[in-house]
Each structure stands twice: as structure tokens, then as C-alpha cells.
Structure 1
Amino acid sequence: MLLLLLLTNAFVLLPWAGAGRIVGGREVMPHSRPYMAYLDIKSGPYSYSCGGFLIRPDTVLSAAHCVAMKWAVRVTVILGAHNISAQEQSQQKIPVGQWVIHPEYSSAGTKNDIVLLKLKQRAMINKNVQCISIAKENERVEEGAECSVSGWGRISTRCDMTSDVLREVEMKVQNEEICEQVFHNYHCQSMICVGVENRNKGTYKGDSGGPLVCNKKAHGIVSYGPQGNVFPEVFTRISHFEPWIHKQLRRFALQDTPGSKSSD
């Protein structure tokens, strides 16, 4: 299964390869990124984690490859966390009831790498847990835009040193041609080319599903990058999938309507 996920010259940010690794970043002020979600995932003999972000009180957006596994998958979302290893009063742990992977997702080339996870119960919105807006269909983040990515976990590509606290790295949207030259499956309409050239800064194995935030709005989802390096990296372009996202959100809302056949 793992071999099927590997690209010729790139790796998918495999969730069990290191939980939320942010390289060259810094610790953020506790609870200053209230939209961040930590995905505690169990699949067969594996336990691993991914990132995600709250876009509605009952819905988290993440990368499809986090849950598209060979074995049955169980996911618990942790919201309101800063130190993921501590029993913080701010944390809300909510099981995921169902998820919808994009119907055209493919591990070959990591295409359409997006999933919506519906929580079994709505999150309690407060100062530590909040939703983030997503890019609309006509909003396209341009080359040179300054953005950021947050996550938990290892802070180096060379060792297993981990960080239990939420960290963030600043990144820049790159020219599409850079990713087209490195990744033969790069698709500019549905992907964003991101990175910081000549600097050891970025996301790495296991930081899957976290948001690329530009001007306080989520524009991308951590998807994949080059083997043994952090430049350039590929993010799922949210604006391309915005119509599909809202279609699924409407279905989720219908399920919650009293009297609906799908209602709990």
C-alpha cells in the first residue's frame, strides 16, 4: 500500500511518517489558530495523525490520503489544542461519523486530494475553537502571496525530534512552472505550488491535511512534496473544489434535518 502512494520523484506526505512535521517554523501563541484540528487516526495495525481545519461547527476539511487506507479507519478530531500531549481544558475530542472523499481522488499522482469529515456532534464554538473561511471558486491565490501553514510534530527532516505544541511556518506561493518541472502529475487548476527556496523551511512527511492560510483564509491543503526536501511543495487548491465542498455541506445539513432518513 505504501509503495502505491509513492511517486517517482516525490512523496505523499504519509500521515504515519511523522505527525504534523513543521520544519524551520516557530511555536505559535497558544490557541491563536483556533481553526486547527488534530486528526487522531487508527487504521488496522497503524495509529497516526494528520492535520485538518474546521470550516463549519460539524465539518473538518483535510487531505483524502489521510483516510484512504487499506484497512478500516477510525478518526477522532481534537479541536482547541495547543499542546497535543497535554490534557488541556480547551480541547474538544469529537469522533468523526462519516467522511466524503472526492470521487476523483487518486493516490497515483495524488490527484483531488481532499476529504470532508463530518463530526458526530457539533463543536462548541468559543475563543479556542473557531471556523476558518475557505477560498471561493473565483478566488485564486497568486504567485508571490505570503501564506502560512501550521501543524504538530517533528521539526527536522534529519531526526525524530518532535514538538507537541502547535508550530507554524511562513511560505510563499511559487510560479506554477517550478512544480510542473519537478512533478509530472502537477495540475495547476487543482493544485498550488508553494515553498521557500534555498531555506530549510516547510512541511514534510506527516503534515498532511493542514491549511495553507493566506490573508486569514484557507486557500490550500497540505498534499505532497519532494523526497528528502521541502521545496517545492504541492497543496490542494481549495477554490477549485469549492462548488463540490458546498454541495457536500448541503448534504450534511439535509442529513441533520428532523425527519430525514439519514438523520441520527
Structure 2
Amino acid sequence: MLILLLLTSPFLLLPWAEAGEIIGGSEAKPHSRPYMAYLTIANESHTSHCGGFLLRPDAVLSAAHCVAGKRHSKALYELSKPLNAKITVILGAHNIHKNEPSQQEFHVGHWVIHPKYSMDTFKNDIMLLKLKPRAKRTKEVSQIPLASHNEHVQPGAICKVAGWGRTSKTRAKTSVLMEVDLKVQSDKVCEKHSKNYLCQSMICVGDEDGKKSTFKGDSGGPLVCNGKAHGVVSYVSYGRKYYLFPNVFTRVSWFIPWIQEELRKFALQDLPDSLSSD
């Protein structure tokens, strides 16, 4: 288990850096979430896994710390060197350990981390990956709409999160996609547990009993509310040992202008050299 201890705070932040772990959930219906992406991030000394989701055939959204790392993990800090990182994205998977005919695999050569991402506080924990060639739309592979700019989901709403990995903190990882329902909490809940929580750019979510949670490597997966992606799995902040509440997600709606600008640049990169050169 990877535990990040912020020396400047009395509370623990536990970020995800390996394959998604859904606690207290259940197996998703195969291919019922065709936007889900499975990321493998590797360099010469370390390999980790994250989640992500398809925005359009040439773009996947995920968490910045999956590639840029976090300050207190040497292995992940090394992954902040872009030239050393190799990223693979798999779409259309249910059992990630099987070579399913529905799967599409991409070796990512270009990605963009938010320029103000902080490895210390997880502020602006968001990144875009460019797929080349573009993903082929099938019944197992399709995009999910994003929450519009400044669109907020209200406290009390029940949303879903999915990921690959363990079904508890101690069991071996599962190979199939798991999902869990989580309730959106008021910002005050996360402000109480983490001084780094920012209500404008983060969403507070979780199960008050601590029995259901995303945990460890579900990073980058979407928080889906009413059919839209409202959040990106970022970290969990808690005040009691192993009490997995609350979960903090990057608020997608806050970053819509940045996402749209980067997607525009992706499109320009695909133009013929004679049209895109200065």
C-alpha cells in the first residue's frame, strides 16, 4: 500500500498509483462502461497502472500524478521525466488480463500534464493523452460526455466510479472491472480533513461509513453522475487510520477551458505539415 504522509498536515493523503482498487463495490456488467481506459506507465525501473476515460477518438483524460508522480515516492518521482516514461492505453477491456477481441491498445507518444499540477498538494491533478491512431468506435469503445464549464453536482447525489484491482485493502487484485456507488459530500467535509482541498477545482465524495471507496490505483478514472464525467480520481484524505473517507476528485467542469484548448492543439497536430507549419 502506498501511503503519502504530508509532513505539513496532521492528516494523511493516500494517492493512487497502481491498478484501480474498488472497495465495497461489485463487478461491472462487461463493457457497460465503454469509455474506461486502462493505463500502464513504465520507465527503466518502475511500472504502475492507472485508470482514465475516453473523451473523443484521439484523447483520454486521466490524473496528472499517474505520470508526473508525487513528491514522496522516489519511483513515481522518476516517472516525472517524460522522456523515460512509456505509456500504454487499453480501451474496450473488461478482464484486463485476457486478450479480449474488443480491446484496442495504443502506445502513447504525446501527453499534456496541467502546467500548474502540484506533486505536493495534488492541485490541478489532470492530464490529457493523445491517441494515435484514433480509437475505433465500437459497442465496447465509446466516449463519455463531460460536465459543462462550471456545472456542479450537488451534495447528496449518488455517482459511480469504476476501476481494476483489489476488492479490499488486503485481497489480491481482481482482473475484471469493478464499480461502486459513492455519495457527493459537501465541501466542508473535505476542508475539515485536508487543508489542500480547493472547492473550485475539486469534488468531495465518499461513503461516511468508510466501507465503500476508490483506493490506491484507481487514479484517473471518472466520477460519473447522470451520465457525465464530473470528476477524476485523485486522492483520499482521512483522519483515522485506514478509514477511507473522504475521497477527493479533480473537478472536470473547472478545467473545461484548459481541456478544450489542449484538444484544439491535438487537432492541429494532425494537420498536414504544409498547413500546420509556421
TM-score, length of structure 1 as denominator length: 0.93
Structure-1 residue corresponding to 2:149: 137
Rounded Cα–Cα distance in structure 1 between residues aligned with 2:275 and 2:244: 47
Q: Which consecutive residues of structure 2, in runs of 5 or more, have no partner in the other structure?
A: 69-76
Matched, 1:233 2:247: yes
Structure-2 residue corresponding to 1:201: 212
Paired amino acid for 2:228: K
Matches within 5 A, 1:157-236: 157=169, 159-226=170-237, 228-236=242-250
CA-CA distance at 1:12 after TM superposition = 4.1
Provide closer, same or farther for how the CA distance between residues 216 and 186 of structure 1 changes in structure 2, counting only shifts above 3 A: same
* Cα deviation 1:233-258 (Å, max 9, x = unaligned): 10000000000000000000011112
CA-CA distance at 1:230 after TM superposition = 1.8
CA contact (8 A) 1:13 1:224 kept: yes
Rounded Cα–Cα distance in structure 2 between residues aligned with 1:85 and 1:118: 24
Aligned-partner SS, 2:189: helix
CA contact (8 A) 2:16 2:234 kept: no
CA-CA distance at 1:10 after TM superposition = 2.5
Rounded Cα–Cα distance in structure 2 between residues aligned with 1:225 and 1:143: 17
Rounded Cα–Cα distance in structure 2 between residues aligned with 1:37 and 1:226: 25
Paired amino acid for 2:206: G
Identity %: 58
Provide closer, same or farther for how the CA distance between residues 262 and 37 of structure 1 changes in structure 2, counting only shifts above 3 A: farther
Matched, 1:250 2:261: no
CA contact (8 A) 2:237 2:248 kept: no
Structure-1 residue corresponding to 2:16: 14
Paired amino acid for 2:107: P
Structure-2 residue corresponding to 1:90: 102
Matched, 1:116 2:132: no
Rounded Cα–Cα distance in structure 1 between residues aligned with 2:5 and 2:42: 21
Rounded Cα–Cα distance in structure 2 between residues aligned with 1:130 and 1:12: 31
CA contact (8 A) 2:16 2:215 kept: no
Rounded Cα–Cα distance in structure 1 between residues aligned with 2:197 and 2:275: 40
Of 7-16 and 247-256, deviating more is: 7-16
* Cα deviation 1:48-67 (Å, max 9, x = unaligned): 10000000101000000000
Rounded Cα–Cα distance in structure 2 between residues aligned with 1:260 and 1:137: 34
* Cα deviation 1:44-98 (Å, max 9, x = unaligned): 3111100000001010000000000424211100000000001100000111121
CA contact (8 A) 1:13 1:207 kept: no
Rounded Cα–Cα distance in structure 2 between residues aligned with 1:20 and 1:88: 19
Structure-2 residue corresponding to 1:46: 46
CA-CA distance at 1:260 after TM superposition = 5.5
CA-CA distance at 1:43 after TM superposition = 2.5
Matched, 1:70 2:68: no
Paired amino acid for 2:38: Y
Matched, 1:106 2:108: no
* Cα deviation 1:108-167 (Å, max 9, x = unaligned): 11100000000121001010000000111131111111100000001112x142110000
Paired amino acid for 2:236: G
Paired amino acid for 2:97: S
CA contact (8 A) 1:79 1:93 kept: yes
Paired amino acid for 2:20: G
CA-CA distance at 1:262 after TM superposition = 6.7
Rounded Cα–Cα distance in structure 2 between residues aligned with 1:30 and 1:172: 24
Q: Which consecutive residues of structure 1, in runs of 5 or more, have no partner in the other structure?
A: none
* Cα deviation 1:2-53 (Å, max 9, x = unaligned): 89x643423342313xx10000000011000000000011123111100000
CA contact (8 A) 2:27 2:178 kept: yes
Structure-1 residue corresponding to 2:72: none
